[in-house]
Amino acid sequence: MANNKTILKRVLLSLLSIFITLILVVGGYLCYVIFSYSRIEDKLALAVTNKNINSSVNTGTEYTIFSQNLGFGAYTADFTFFMDGGTESRAKSEESVISCINQGANKASSFNPDFILFQEVDTDSTRSYHTNQADILTEKFNTYSSVFAVNYHSAFLMYPIFNPHGKSNSGILTLSKTDITSSTRRSLPISTSLSKFLDLDRCYSVSRINISGGKELVIYNVHMSAYGGSPEIRTAQMTMLFDDMQSEYDKGNYCICGGDFNHDFTGNSTQALNDGESADFGWAQPFPANLIAKYAGISRAMNYTCGEQKPTCRNCDIPYQEGNFTIIVDGFLVSANVTVTYLENVQTGFVYSDHNPVVMKFILN
């Protein structure tokens, strides 16, 4: 009898020790996540690398701009992401990451663009095997001026448990054949609730390029909130961007904003691309048409040259095949003194990213 009581006591003590250890581990991890959280200051001057090829652009000349979210090099067509309802949290391999980034670079290069806007470019992330994708891209476009802004940095995410997403350092990369005189990082409003830990440090960059005869071409590279967003946050982010662009236009400058807006860019692409059906994935909310209508100097570029809407993004809950849910979330905003002469959502079959690129040609009036 005494032996049984001793055994029971040892079992209970062991269970208590395990419970206390778990509490300490989980509590310690939560403290690590909370206390390592920080936001980058707003209006931060960004380092610009200029190649001193062209000092200015001209009015009346046609230019080409290319934009694509590269999906941190993970999204082959069969990749599914755990935060979209899929299963995977990391790219398949370092080799796969490098291949995907190079495919994105090659696609951009095929259009010989004057300006390139890349989003979701990792520099040192667990999910992409710590490949510095910004280095790969700037080396590929080594005759372009460049500027990089951190758009997402997180503590080590211990989920999924058996293959955690890990620590992330990612950003937006702007490349230009013309010297960038200066660039500034603007911190977007984000959630102040616990969801902020899924949406760390969203921003856009503002890069300035001289125009012959005076004034500036102001290029915005943007990647807005997805998983941590709310109606209030989405409105605050858009209002900040629109106010900024309108202010520059009022000064007589020319504005182009490109990137991943994480909204249904045309407002009806979920229905137009999916046989009239809509889907609510949380992040795919309609673009705020009523809000942008209040800004006389800014509009969406939606007059696609092919005459029809084509997707720029897939949901990554299942491997991609034709007929899956797709949407337009990527595109360009332009000020009223910019004329769009060509616009295309380029179809890639989502073989190297969950986003398709958008190409636009334009003239500064």
Considering the domain architecture, whether residues 333 and 268 belong to the same structural domain is answered as yes
DSSP string, 162-185: TS--EEEEEEEEEEESB---EEEE
DSSP 81: B
What is the Cα 176 distance to its own chain's centre? 19
Considering the domain architecture, whether residues 123 and 10 belong to the same structural domain is answered as no
Is the pLDDT higher at 156 or at 243?
243
The confidence score (pLDDT) of residue 85 equals: 85
Query: Strand 62-69 to strand 115-122: parallel, antiparallel, or no bridges (unpaired)?
Result: parallel
Q: Where in the sequence is the domain holding 23, given as residue range(s)?
A: 1-36
pTM: 0.91
Query: Mean pLDDT, the chain, as a whole number?
Result: 90
Q: CATH number for the domain including 190? A: 3.60.10.10
Considering the domain architecture, whether residues 148 and 294 belong to the same structural domain is answered as yes
| Long-range Cβ contacts of 151-159 (<8 Å, 24+ apart) | 151/119, 151/120, 151/201, 151/202, 151/203, 151/223, 152/120, 152/200, 152/201, 152/202, 153/200, 153/201, 154/197, 154/200, 155/32, 155/33, 155/36, 155/37, 155/197, 156/32, 156/126, 158/29, 159/82, 159/89
Considering the domain architecture, whether residues 22 and 58 belong to the same structural domain is answered as no
Considering the domain architecture, whether residues 156 and 25 belong to the same structural domain is answered as no
249 residue type, one letter: Y
Considering the domain architecture, whether residues 12 and 63 belong to the same structural domain is answered as no
Considering the domain architecture, whether residues 232 and 198 belong to the same structural domain is answered as yes
* Number of compact structural domains in the chain: 2
Considering the domain architecture, whether residues 14 and 87 belong to the same structural domain is answered as no
DSSP 262: S
Cα separation, 43 vs 40, whole angstroms: 9
Considering the domain architecture, whether residues 137 and 17 belong to the same structural domain is answered as no
The confidence score (pLDDT) of residue 311 equals: 97
Considering the domain architecture, whether residues 28 and 54 belong to the same structural domain is answered as no
Which range among 10-24, 73-87, 92-106, 199-213 shows the weakest confidence by mean pLDDT?
A: 10-24
pLDDT tens sequence across 334-350: 999 999 999 999 999 99
Considering the domain architecture, whether residues 101 and 199 belong to the same structural domain is answered as yes
Considering the domain architecture, whether residues 119 and 5 belong to the same structural domain is answered as no
